[in-house]
């Protein structure tokens, strides 16, 4: 019986495999193999025993079903794994898990798991950034209204909007690199972090285990790796999710009938509504927004998991079984969905231009104000004249040009041709094109 929507609705198979029950077992067995090799390398056990343990430490010999069976009897998941591995190792089984505590295995395995998950997340970021960069390049000259507070502001280009998004994703790519540094840390220092059970060769054993796994050692640790590291990772995934919700919200708003400047692709047989045949809803962007909120909800338990009794309690264990796989799988999913939206986005430059024209010159009031200042008018006076003129144009439903060309103060400094040119959106996009080009160069 499937209960979680990850089982049947959301998530890609590649990353689901990494966070599957079998994969979790496989990562833990890999840590056990590394531990046995380290003991052999320092002379604690014979080489033949380390080889046998390493040979059997995989899901071909130690399967999920057997581990579950043992756990039902002993009520300890890691010890169930240890017993399942030991029983297939013959006489070498007595050296399995030598000197280790459960979270030496769990946290080192978590690091391997999250490292592999972060690789997939990074690939998703790169793919999305590429699609955004392509849109930025293609539409760097497509003039549209900028909007602040939901109201018409100044003209921008659609390419500049996409360049802003692409630059944000490049910052997230760098943060994922930081996450790898933060999370690729394990431990083999025992029940309270002192390394006592490993004896005088503790540091050497721990170093060899971490080298084998491609991790750094947490020095010092308690029984667990510091959960501030996990907070960093979940926070970064939440940050990415927030950016994606922002992008998706922008698409949803620009797709509104009243604006109509972009739209999600709509497949030939796609249904928009069960009752309204005309509907063409931005459902992918809406899904992204909803799932981004679930990802961010993982932050609270991540923070609270860092609060432990003394050297460790067990409160983090159960919640981490939820938040780690869900945060990774859902972040990958909405990255994938967002890339699909932007790689197939329908963009309507003619509608953007139409909306600029419908604004009746009002978004260019600043351009006229700045021109008046250039001609010698006090900036504050120019602002007041344009404010009053804009309100008059709105009240009378007229183009701003009609109001300005009847103002004697303005006509004393500007010709009608200068006013007309100032009210042309093509003449007031600043360095938008150059900013796009700079961004594309910086994020390669």
Angle at 438 between CA 437 and CA 441, to 5 degrees: 85
pLDDT at 277: 84
Confidence of residue 279 (pLDDT cuts 50, 70, 90): confident
Q: Compute the distance between CA of residue 396 and CA of residue 144 in angstroms, rounded to an integer.
A: 24
Q: What is the pLDDT of residue 1?
A: 87
pLDDT value for 278: 85
Q: How far apart are the C-alpha atoms of 266 and 55, rounded to whole Å? A: 52
pLDDT for position 415? 97
d(CA 85, CA 95): 10
Average of per-residue pLDDT across 248-271: 93
Tell me the average pLDDT across 202-213.
98
Q: How confident is the model at residue 269, as a pLDDT?
A: 82
Q: How confident is the model at residue 295 (pLDDT cuts 50, 70, 90)?
A: very high
Angle at 385 (CA atoms; ends 379, 389), nearest 5 degrees: 145
Q: How many CB atoms lie under 10 A from the CB of residue 65?
A: 7
CATH architecture of 101-264+277-358: Up-down Bundle (1.20)
CA distance 386 to 394: 12
Query: In this predicted structure, what is the pLDDT of residue 250?
Result: 98
The encoded tokens of residue 385 equal: 């004249």
Give me the mean pLDDT over the 302-329 stretch: 96
Mean pLDDT, the chain, as a whole number? 97
- pLDDT at position 387: 98
Q: What is the dihedral angle through the alpha carbons of 251, 138, 340, 292, rounded to the nearest 10 degrees? A: -40
Q: Within a 10 A sphere around the Cβ of 1, how many other Cβ atoms?
A: 3
Residue located via tokens 């250039």: 374
Here the tokens at position 314 are 């067990």
Q: For residues 145-170, give the mean pLDDT.
A: 98
Would you name the residues annotated as active-site residues?
149, 273
Give the pLDDT score at 332: 98
CATH among 1.20.970.10, 1.10.1040.50, 1.20.1290.10, 1.10.40.30 for 362-422: 1.10.40.30
The domain limits of the chain are 1-98, 101-264+277-358, 362-422
Residue-level pLDDT at 201: 98
Q: What is the torsional sign of CA 24, 29, 30, 35?
A: positive
* pLDDT(276) > 90: no
Helix (H, G, I), strand (E, B) or coil at 346: strand
pTM (two decimals):
0.96
Comparing C-alpha atoms, which of 148, 172, 143 is closest to residue 158?
143
Helices (H) and strands (E) in the chain, counts: 19, 6
Q: What distance in Å separates the CA atoms of residue 207 and residue 210, rounded to the nearest whole number?
A: 5
Does residue 273 have a pLDDT over 80?
no
Topology annotation, domain 1-98 = Fumarase C; Chain B, domain 1 (1.10.275)
Question: For position 270, what pLDDT does the model report?
Answer: 82
Q: What are the pLDDT digits (tens) for 163-172? A: 999 999 999 9
pLDDT of 272: 80
Fold agreement (1-98, 101-264+277-358) = no
Nearest to 125 by CA among 241, 19, 253, 12: 241
Helices (H), 256-314: 283-297, 299-305
Instruction: For residue 193, count other CB atoms closer than 10 A to its CB.
Output: 21
What was the pLDDT predicted at 444?
A: 86
The answer to whether residue 266 scores a pLDDT higher than 90 is: no
What is the structure's pLDDT at 80? 98
């Amino acid at each position: 019986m499937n209960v979680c929507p990850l089982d049947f609705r959301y998530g890609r198979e590649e990353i689901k495999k990494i966070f599957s029950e079998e994969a979790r077992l496989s990562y833990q067995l890999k840590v056990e193999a590394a531990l046995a090799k380290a003991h052999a390398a320092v002379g604690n056990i014979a080489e033949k025993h380390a080889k046998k343990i390493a040979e059997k430490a995989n899901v071909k010999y130690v399967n999920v079903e057997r581990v579950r069976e043992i756990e039902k009897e002993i009520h300890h998941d890691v010890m169930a794994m240890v017993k399942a591995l030991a029983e297939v190792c013959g006489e070498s089984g007595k050296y399995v898990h030598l000197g280790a505590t459960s979270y030496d295995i769990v946290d080192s395995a978590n690091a391997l798991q999250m490292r592999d998950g972060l690789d997939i997340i990074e690939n998703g970021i790169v793919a999305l950034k590429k699609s955004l960069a392509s849109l930025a390049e293609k539409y760097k000259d497509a003039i549209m209204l900028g909007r602040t507070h939901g109201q018409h502001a100044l003209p921008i280009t659609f390419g500049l909007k996409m360049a802003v998004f692409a630059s944000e994703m490049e910052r997230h790519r760098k943060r994922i690199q930081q996450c790898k540094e933060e999370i690729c840390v394990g431990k083999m220092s025992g029940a309270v972090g002192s390394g006592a059970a490993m004896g005088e060769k503790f540091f050497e054993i721990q170093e060899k285990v971490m080298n084998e796994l491609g991790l750094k050692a947490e020095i010092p640790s308690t029984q667990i790796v510091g959960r501030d590291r996990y907070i960093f990772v979940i926070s970064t995934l939440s940050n990415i999710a927030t950016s994606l919700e922002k992008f998706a919200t922008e698409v949803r708003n620009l797709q509104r009938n009243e604006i109509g400047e972009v739209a999600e692709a709509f497949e030939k047989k796609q249904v928009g509504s069960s009752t309204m045949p005309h509907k063409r809803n931005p459902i992918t962007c809406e899904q992204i927004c909803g799932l981004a909120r679930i990802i961010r909800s993982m932050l609270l338990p991540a923070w609270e998991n860092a609060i432990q009794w003394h050297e460790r309690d067990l409160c983090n264990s159960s919640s981490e079984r939820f938040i780690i796989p869900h945060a990774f799988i859902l972040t990958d999913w909405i990255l994938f969905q967002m890339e699909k939206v932007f790689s197939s986005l329908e963009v309507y430059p003619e509608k953007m231009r139409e909306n600029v024209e419908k604004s009746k010159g009002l978004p260019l009031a600043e351009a006229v104000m700045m021109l008046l200042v250039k001609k010698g008018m006090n900036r504050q006076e120019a602002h007041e004249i344009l404010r009053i003129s804009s309100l008059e144009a709105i009240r009378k439903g007229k183009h701003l040009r009609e109001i300005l060309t009847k103002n004697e103060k303005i006509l004393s400094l500007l010709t009608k041709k200068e006013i007309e040119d100032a009210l042309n959106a093509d003449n007031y996009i600043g360095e938008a094109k150059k900013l796009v080009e700079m961004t594309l160069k910086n994020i390669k």
